[in-house]
Amino acid sequence: MSNADPLGKRLQLAGILLIIGLVVEAFCLLSAKPIAFIIFVAVGGLLIFSGVTLYLFSLISLSAIPD
């Protein structure tokens, strides 16, 4: 799969979003303060949701392409 492959690019983007979201979650877990929970949900949650959605969207769009 070359870098020009749209699926590969989407998977990489989804992965990067997930990594950032998970890193945010990891940092938020270190703090037991209310603001950490807000950042976890608002930033980390949004990034994880975006990454997962992009991955699922990639699967759907791939299956829509005729062989």
Partner 1 sequence: MRLEPPMFAAKLSILPATTLTAILVLVTVALVAVVVVRPGMVKTPGGKILAFIVLFLLPVLCGAMGVSTDMERSTTTAFCLSCHTMESWGQSLHIDDPNHIPAAHFQNHRVPPETACYTCHTDYAMFGTLKVKIGGLRHVYVYYFGTPPAPENIKLYQQFNNDNCLHCHLGARSFEEGATHTADPATMIAIKSNKLSCLSSGCHDVIHDIAHLKEAKFWKESN
Q: Which two tokens stand for residue 49?
A: 């949701």
Taking the C-alpha atoms of residue 9 and residue 16, their distance in angstroms, rounded to an integer, is 11
Taking the C-alpha atoms of residue 25 and residue 40, their distance in angstroms, rounded to an integer, is 5
Residue 46 sits in the site that holds partner 1 (CB under 8 A)? no
Q: How far is the CB of 63 from partner 1 (least distance, A)?
A: 12
Residue 43 sits in the site that holds partner 1 (CB under 8 A)? no
Nearer to partner 1, 23 or 61 (CB): 23
Q: Which two tokens stand for residue 48?
A: 């994880």
Cα atoms found within 13 Å of the Cα of residue 58, Cβ hemisphere only: 17
Residues that bind partner 1 (CB under 8 A): 1, 5, 7-9, 11-12, 14-16, 18-19, 21-23, 25-26, 28-30, 32-38, 40-41, 44-45, 48-49, 51-52, 55-56
